[in-house]
Amino acid sequence: AVKVSRDINWRNFWICFSIASGQIGFGYPSSIIGVTLGQPSFLLYMGLIDEQGVEAPNAASLIGSMNGVFQVTTHHSVKWTPKLTVGKAGAVFGALASSWTNDRFGRKAAIRFCAALSIVGGTILCASQDVGMFIAFGFLLAREVGGFYPSVSHLLFEVTAE
């Protein structure tokens, strides 16, 4: 029979709980983009529609690109463009770079680095003046999300093993 220990290491529990709660940073950019792209005021500000609500000629592909920065899949009505892979490329780059960062500087430093990128990328993304800036800093935010996944997973495994 396997003996189950009822002792709980509360320090490790709260560390894991805090780190896992911080993963809200993963889902927030993905959840907010759908609401943002549905706001006429945002579309007007970015020049994707005019005052009468008529779409710009390239609006569908730009909206798809903006959505693609955050989403793994896009809506079937949006035509595929090379820009749709920007977010995926950012996440892949972040995941690959996190391997080196984790080994070189440690898990906590890698998570701090991703958190700093998240703050900078999210702040500038919110202040975007045009679609190009939105997509570029969406890449930075996607890099953060891609880097967080392996770093947090490794740190949680190491902390729970204590």
Query: Count of residues for the chain?
Result: 162
Q: Specify the DSSP element, H or E, that contains 88.
A: helix 86-105
> Mean of the per-residue pLDDT values for the chain?
78
**pTM of this prediction?**
0.72
The pLDDT-based confidence of 139 (bands split at 50, 70, 90) is confident
- Say which range, 4-8, 25-29, 71-75, has the weakest mean pLDDT: 71-75
Higher pLDDT, 19 or 24: 19
**Residues 48, 63 contacting (CB under 8 angstroms):** yes
Tokens of 37: 């792209």
What pLDDT was estimated at residue 3? 66
What pLDDT was estimated at residue 9? 78
Which residues have a Cβ under 8 Å from the Cβ of 120 and sit 6 or more positions away? 140
The proportion of the chain whose per-residue pLDDT surpasses 70, expressed as a percent, equals 77
Q: Is the pLDDT of residue 81 over 60?
A: no
Compute, in degrees rounded to 10, the torsion defined by CA atoms 107, 111, 116, 117: 100
Q: Which residues of 118-148 are buried (b: 16+ CB within 10 A; e: fewer)?
A: beebbeebeebeebeebbbbbbbbbbbbbbb
What pLDDT was estimated at residue 105? 93
Residue 47 CA to residue 49 CA, distance in Å, equals 6
The proportion of the chain whose per-residue pLDDT surpasses 90, expressed as a percent, equals 10
The pLDDT-based confidence of 77 (bands split at 50, 70, 90) is very low
Q: Which of 123, 110, 106, 146 shows the shortest CA–CA distance to 26?
A: 146
- Say which range, 39-43, 71-75, 88-92, 99-103, has the weakest mean pLDDT: 71-75
Which residues have a Cβ under 8 Å from the Cβ of 33 and sit 6 or more positions away? 66, 67, 69, 70, 71
Q: Is the pLDDT of residue 72 over 70?
A: no
